Amino acid sequence: MSDAPPGDRFINRELSWLDFNERVLSLAEAEDMPLLERAKFLAIFASNLDEFYMVRVAGLKRQFAAGLTNRSSDGLTPGQQLEGISAKALSLALRHAQLWLDDVRPALGRAGIEIFRWEKLDDQQRKELNEYFMDSIFPVVTPLAVGPGHPFPYISSRSLNLAVRVRDPGGSLLHFARVKVPPLLPRFVATFEGNVFVPIEDVIAANLSELLPGMDIVEHHAFRVTRNGDLEMNDDGAEDLLQALEKELRRSRFTPAVRLEVESDMPPAVLDLLKRELEVGDEDVHRLPGPLDLTGLWDLHGLDRPELKDTVFQPVTPAAFTSPDGTPTDIFSVLRSDDVLVHHPYDSFTTTVQRFISKAAADPRVLAIKQTLYRTSGESPIVEALIKAAESGKQVVVLVEITARFDELANIAWARTLEQAGCHVVYGLVGLKTHCKLCLVVRQEAMGLRRYIHIGTGNYNPTTARLYEDLGLLTSDPRLGADVSELFNSLTGYSRQRNYRSLVVAPHELRERIVRLIEREGHADGSQPAGRIIFKLNSLADAEVIDALYEASQRSVEIDIIVRGICALRPQVKGLSDNIRVRSIVGRFLEHSRIYYFHNGGSEEFFIGSADIMHRNLDRRIETLLATRSADVNHRLKGILDLALADNSSAWELGSDGHWVRVARAEAEPRVELQRELMERAHRDA
């Protein structure tokens, strides 16, 4: 192993995540991208950055405030990481804001979608919006004064606000008031013509005299606060995990501010007041050209302008689930003879996974359904099917991970709904987040009980299944069925099962198994083909696994990493990682599946599942990887990996210096784009 210092061996995970969000921003910068898709990626960038501050920056701030000096894998203290994040995040935020102002917004205007600030409106448009204010905004807005008897109000996380200074007519003393922009109203208000939009805070600002009558409005400035959103569950001895989480959610509303966004024209006096009351330092302030909160650009993406969006892609039903005459096949009959790999969004989630669960719920021969739920949709057909199954007398066990970040309240509601319907609901294990994606169906058949299984890389959510790229296996393999049954017993009871036949489970053995498989590739003798490893995953940050990959590289193993987000591994470093290449694909769909490939001397092994190579996944979560055995399934998995490695249109490559560079296609080289090719294949093969 190389003696290189940590900073040369590892890339900081937080800065690597910011690199990922920069790749998202690059999609908004792409001039060949449809205009409303560019606006969408601006919204995604903004939402991503919000969550990064709420979780990662908040965690580092807690460490720094506690005086901790523990270092990251690349050797940085919490304070040093915060310094690097502050500079890089502000630079990206400014680039994001200017891209909107100087490029995307004017281009939308040329396409007939005008987004104006108040001063650009004509008299008729102002009149219309003033009427809208009185009818739809005034009744729900409450200005809050600050002064004697009126303490500075609580500013909720991610809320958009106006800082207003007023004075009595003829007076000189300035007073401060805060006006919160109603979060449930449209971010951009349309004029009656329907093609001119105005930020809602401009409409409110133009009517402040209606909210503060009799006062002179001196100035107003928009600001936005981001607070710590990472729950600190203290569940030691908690008798009821649900109650403990609800208590923490109530407490978390008042967590510290970690970022303050203000419009660039905010004067020092107002900014100093906000910094003092919110207890943020200069390093936490993002001074940006308005409008703030471009997550609201999702609203514009919803406009009925198909010529400004990607061509609609219609997922297909795999041939295995469709008869020659186009009617659906019996899903259980298919799975008795074949394993079926489903690849979303190319394969329809509705006609595969959702149909599997709905069919099981309605089938009188199904005796039991056991399911994990991490995130699901608002109107969830999966939950509805489970409720119907319970109401028909089936035993239904649902493990609802109520601590799934930012979905805690929704999952608490689903858990209670399922309980009221008669389902057995389990909330997960104390100290471990259940992240695996499993559904087990037990069916009475002529030859006895048979188990049918779905195991996937993504959530049971039909909405995100159209946006996220994920894999799932539907099978009746008895070995896997036995594994999944035993795992559910561990999750719902007191089983201490550790060893499985087809599954690899975290936190008990997943890291150790991955490391052993990596080491095996590096120990092939001269009579065997050279070692080969390919990982496709979301994040790679675990130091022990990365060190094993470095050692394998030094043993001449060829290694390719296809990572969407964080990568702490430093590739192509002489003497350390010469044989490791890292690439990232960011595109129309969020690359979310995990595939782990090992050449194994020609007896190729593939694993799919829920786990990334992160400390949290390997140590603090229940995760599963499945060793796939079907030759057809493995052939298809290898095809996905090969296509991702051949992509020369949407791929980025990571250099030894830690910088990402867009893959350049040679002039005579045919264009290869992973997601486009998979969409075309899906329709061709359906």
Active site (catalytic) residues: 435
CA atoms within 13 A on the CB side of 401: 25
Q: Is 524 helix (H, G, I), strand (E, B) or coil?
A: coil
> What is the DSSP pairing of strand 395-400 with strand 660-662?
unpaired
**233 in Cβ contact with 243 (< 8 Å):** no
Sign of CA dihedral 8, 12, 13, 19: negative
Question: Which stretches does DSSP call E strand in 427-483?
Answer: 433-434, 437-445, 448-456, 468-475
DSSP 549-601: HHHHHHTT-EEEEEESS-B-B--S-TTTSTTEEEEEE--SSEE---EEEE-GG
Torsion (CA) 266, 267, 273, 275 in degrees, nearest 10: 60
539 contact partners, CB below 8 Å, separation of at least 6: 13, 563, 564, 565, 566, 567, 612, 613, 614
Measured distance CA(604)–CA(325) in Å, rounded: 37
Q: Is the peptide bond before 345 cis (omega within 30 degrees of 0)?
A: yes
Which residue's structure tokens are 């910068």? 29
Helical (H) or strand (E) element with 532: strand 532-537
Phi, psi of 11 (to 5 degrees): -100, 140
| Vertex 348: Cα angle to 342 and 349 (nearest 5) | 75
- Location of structure tokens 């805060």: 178
Beta pairing, strands 175-180 & 621-628: unpaired
Q: Which two tokens stand for residue 394?
A: 């089936």
Helix or strand run (H / E) with residue 262: strand 257-263
Distance CA 163, CA 141 (A): 14
Element (H, E) at 408: helix 408-420
Q: Which residue has the tokens 């308005």?
A: 290
CB-based burial of residue 663 (10 Å sphere; 0-12 exposed, 13-18 middle, 19+ buried)? middle
Rounded Cα gap, residues 181 and 179, in angstroms: 6
What radius of gyration, in Å, describes the C-alpha atoms of the chain?
Answer: 27
Two structure tokens written together for 393: 């007398």
Report whether 233 contacts 245 (CB < 8 A).
yes
**Omega prior to 507 cis, within 30 of 0:** yes
Coil/strand/helix, residue 640: helix
Q: Among residues 410, 370, 388, 374, which one has the least CA distance to residue 492?
A: 370
Supply φ then ψ for residue 608, to 5 degrees.
-130, 155
Q: How far apart are CA 568 and CA 12, in angstroms?
A: 6
CB 400 within 8 A of CB 459: no
- Token pair of 476 as six digits: 């009746």
Q: Helix or strand or coil: residue 416?
A: helix
